[in-house]
Chains A and B, each alone.
Chain A
Amino acid sequence: MNLTLHIWRQKNASDPGRMVRYEAKNVNADMSFLEMLDVLNEELTLKGEDPVAFDSDCREGICGMCGFMINGVAHGPQRGTTVCQLHMRRFKEGDQLHLEPWRARAFPVIKDLVVDRSAFDRIIQAGGFISVSTGSAPDGNAILVPKPAADLAMDAAACIGCGACVAACPNAAAALFTGAKITHLAKLPQGQPERYQRVLGMVAQARQDLFGSCTNIGECEAVCPKAIPLDVIAGMNRDFIKASWERREEVIEKGAG
């Protein structure tokens, strides 16, 4: 099939960028979307032009590296799928496809379709961890986890941090990502000691990185390649309210002083 691509080309972070039109000829329907771009890039390279930069790693839909907007939808038209697992059979002859990078203040464009998602790493550093004692390996089942809690934690832990939720959100909020990471650990016994510090830290970090505010509209849930539900955002809100109520630091500091 033959497609017309309109791709966001931006040399570097300071370049204003623009949409450039490319013709993709004789696209094989069995190719993945990224393979189609690989072919385009080979042609561009042979012509001496700069190939289109995009992120990818595993190409199995599990690493979270890839992702861009296809016709205004994060990861393209297929639900629950990263763009590397999207195949050209989803498109038809003559389609016009607009490819754009994730757009958010917190995700500055590095080049073309590649954005810097370090802001997600900073949110994780602000609380997305548990503390474990070193030493000999603990017994596998020493800490019991109820099956429903394990399932809910696993659902939330499926988040691969691709950033599609932020990209799809009209407010560029990181609520689904942050909520997934908080819920993942909040459901497990291992996550309890730091549970309320965690939510305060991660929520504050998301604000400092200039992510927007959630308006509960559900665009994030719809584009999430791991189909993580809005429920995790409510879980984050719940923990945030509880953590705000229970914070005692100021009182303790003054009392001890």
Chain B
Amino acid sequence: MSSVAADSHVHRAFHFYQESLGKKVVMAATGVVLFGYLVAHLLGNMQVYLGAEQMDNYAAFLHSMPALLWGVRALLLISIVGHIVSSIQLARLKSAARPVSYVKKEAIASSYASRTMMWSGPIIAFFVIFHILDLTTGAAGAAQFQDLRAYENLVYSFRRVPVAAFYIVAMVLLCMHLYHGLWSMFQSMGVSHPRYTPIIKRAAAWVAILMAVGFISIPISVLTGLVGANL
């Protein structure tokens, strides 16, 4: 009996994921996880304005719970892989679905952000790889990189103007990605209502902008000397 049940679980998951609608649900669900992480990450980062001690203590606090830290990292990795794999599969459907393109085609209702998800997404993914090498492992970090000295590492990293510029560009793209993605995940999961969907869209836009402003404020503060002037 148990083998029948196991069979049918695989079968059901296969049927679900085989359809583009199922893949979109995976996009949405993994998007929720990644967005949740972004919110936590932004709140953590905002401690840079409370000084070096607070920031470094926070980093030490996170590393004091290795099981939780690696659990979250594993969940994020699974979500990123799921998000990327399903997006690539969906994008391949797109090119197969219109082999002959239009001589002339106008977009009349869609946002620029919604049409460029497959540009903003990969660039953000590339940024995340760089970001981890820069500030987590230190492999691409500033010369002064020291493990768990989060505040100093951040300041020395952002004093390199190209790094700060790449960060800002990536955050603008993240804002665009969230501008469409945050409301689109509701639609993909079947949550829509003529009264609430416009509110969700507006809220998604504001959250996307506020998060980008929050993240971008950090390299700007470093470059203007507002943060880390004493280093």
Binding site for B on A (CB under 8 A): 6, 8, 19, 69, 71-73, 98, 100, 103-106, 168, 170-173, 200, 203-204, 207, 210-219, 221-223, 229-231, 233-241, 244, 247, 250-251, 254-255
Q: Which residues of A contact B12 (CB under 8 A)?
A: 244, 247, 250
Contact of B24 (CB < 8 Å), options: A100, A229, A237, A251: A237
Q: Which residues of B contact A103 (CB under 8 A)?
A: 98, 100-102
Judge whether A251 and B4 touch: CB under 8 Å.
Answer: yes
Taking CB atoms and an 8 Å cut-off, the chain B residues in 102-126 that contact chain A are 102-111, 114-115, 117
A244-B190 contact in complex given A103-B102, A106-B97, C-beta closer than 8 Å: no
Judge whether A100 and B192 touch: CB under 8 Å.
Answer: no
Q: Which residues of A contact B109 (CB under 8 A)?
A: 217-219, 221-222
Instruction: Name the residue of chain B whose CB is nearest to the CB of A254.
Output: B4
Query: What are the interface flags for B187-219 relative to A under an 8 Å C-beta threshold, 1 for contact and 0 otherwise?
Result: 111111110010000000000000000000000
15 contacts between A and B (CB under 8 A): A72-B102, A72-B106, A103-B98, A103-B101, A104-B98, A168-B108, A211-B97, A217-B111, A217-B114, A218-B109, A222-B108, A231-B194, A240-B21, A240-B22, A241-B190
A211 to B15, CA, bound (A): 17
Judge whether A8 and B103 touch: CB under 8 Å.
Answer: yes
Judge whether A215 and B114 touch: CB under 8 Å.
Answer: yes
**Top 9 A-B pairs ranked by shortest CB distance?**
A238-B190, A234-B192, A212-B97, A222-B109, A213-B20, A72-B106, A217-B110, A172-B97, A237-B190
Which residue among A8, A170, A241, A247 has the maximum number of chain B CB atoms within 10 Å of its CB?
A170
Q: Which residues of A contact B114 (CB under 8 A)?
A: 215-218
A80 to B21, CA, bound (A): 27
Q: How large is the interface on B (under 10, 10 to 19, 20 to 34, 35 or more residues)?
A: 35 or more
Q: Does B224 count as interface, using CB distance less than 8 angstroms?
A: no
Judge whether A241 and B108 touch: CB under 8 Å.
Answer: no
Instruction: Name the residue of chain A whose CB is nearest to the CB of B11.
Output: A250
A16 to B5, CA, bound (A): 51
Q: Which residues of A contact B189 (CB under 8 A)?
A: 237-238, 241
Q: Which segment, of B34-42, B50-58, B66-74, B88-96, faces chain A?
A: B88-96
Instruction: Name the residue of chain A whose CB is nearest to the CB of B118.
Output: A215
Q: Which residues of A contact B162 (CB under 8 A)?
A: none
Judge whether A104 and B97 touch: CB under 8 Å.
Answer: yes
A239 to B192, CA, bound (A): 13
Judge whether B103 and A204 touch: CB under 8 Å.
Answer: no
Contact of B25 (CB < 8 Å), options: A71, A222, A241, A255: A241
A105 to B94, CA, bound (A): 10
Contact of A213 (CB < 8 Å), options: B18, B24, B106: B24
Chain B, interface SS category? helix
Judge whether A230 and B98 touch: CB under 8 Å.
Answer: no
Binding site for A on B (CB under 8 A): 4-5, 7-8, 11-12, 15-16, 18-25, 90, 93-94, 96-111, 114-115, 117, 180, 183-184, 186-194, 197
Q: Which residues of B contact A207 (CB under 8 A)?
A: 18-20
Q: Which residues of B contact A231 (CB under 8 A)?
A: 192-194, 197
Instruction: Name the residue of chain A whose CB is nearest to the CB of B100.
Output: A103
Instruction: Name the residue of chain A whose CB is nearest to the CB of B107.
Output: A219
Judge whether A244 and B15 touch: CB under 8 Å.
Answer: yes
The distance from the CB of B24 to the nearest CB of chain A, in whole angstroms, is 7
Which residue among A106, A217, A229 has the maximum number of chain B CB atoms within 10 Å of its CB?
A217
Which residue among B90, B98, B183, B192 has the maximum number of chain A CB atoms within 10 Å of its CB?
B98
A213-B8 contact in complex given A72-B105, A98-B103, A234-B187, C-beta closer than 8 Å: no
Q: Which residues of A contact B19 (CB under 8 A)?
A: 203-204, 207, 240
The distance from the CB of A119 to the nearest CB of chain B, in whole angstroms, is 11
Judge whether A215 and B97 touch: CB under 8 Å.
Answer: no
Known contacts A200-B15, A212-B93; can you find 4 more A-B pairs with CB under 8 A?
A19-B103, A72-B104, A219-B108, A238-B191
Q: Which residues of A contact B105 (CB under 8 A)?
A: 69, 72, 170
The distance from the CB of A137 to the nearest CB of chain B, in whole angstroms, is 36
Q: Which residues of B contact A218 (CB under 8 A)?
A: 109-110, 114
Judge whether B96 and A105 touch: CB under 8 Å.
Answer: yes
The distance from the CB of B190 to the nearest CB of chain A, in whole angstroms, is 3
A250-B8 contact in complex given A207-B20, A210-B96, A213-B23, C-beta closer than 8 Å: yes
A216-B184 contact in complex given A173-B97, A207-B20, C-beta closer than 8 Å: yes
Judge whether A171 and B102 touch: CB under 8 Å.
Answer: no
Q: Which residues of A contact B111 (CB under 8 A)?
A: 217
